Amino acid sequence: VKVLLASGYTQNGTAQQILDEGVQGFVHKPFSITELSEKVRKVLEE
């Protein structure tokens, strides 16, 4: 299962700990539809 994390936390904090556990991608809130679609596409291509 591929996971894309959306969080208001920075990657330097709690979100980085989650990414280290195997989450495939991260998008920081607030995000645009364009940014989200690019991240989703990248995760799906991996």
**Number of domains forming the structure of the chain:** 1
Structure tokens at 39: 């991240």
User: 25 with 4: CB under 8 angstroms?
Assistant: yes
Going by C-alpha positions, the residue among 45, 37, 35 that lies closest to residue 2 is: 45
At 1-46, the pLDDT tens digits run 899 988 887 656 676 787 788 888 888 899 999 999 999 999 999 8
Structure tokens at 28: 């920081």
User: Contacts from 31-34 at CB under 8 Å and sequence distance 24+?
Assistant: 31/6
Give the alpha-carbon dihedral of 8, 36, 40, 11, to 10 degrees.
-30
- Domain range for 16 is 4-45
Instruction: Using a cut of 0.75, tell me whether the model's pTM lies above it.
Output: no
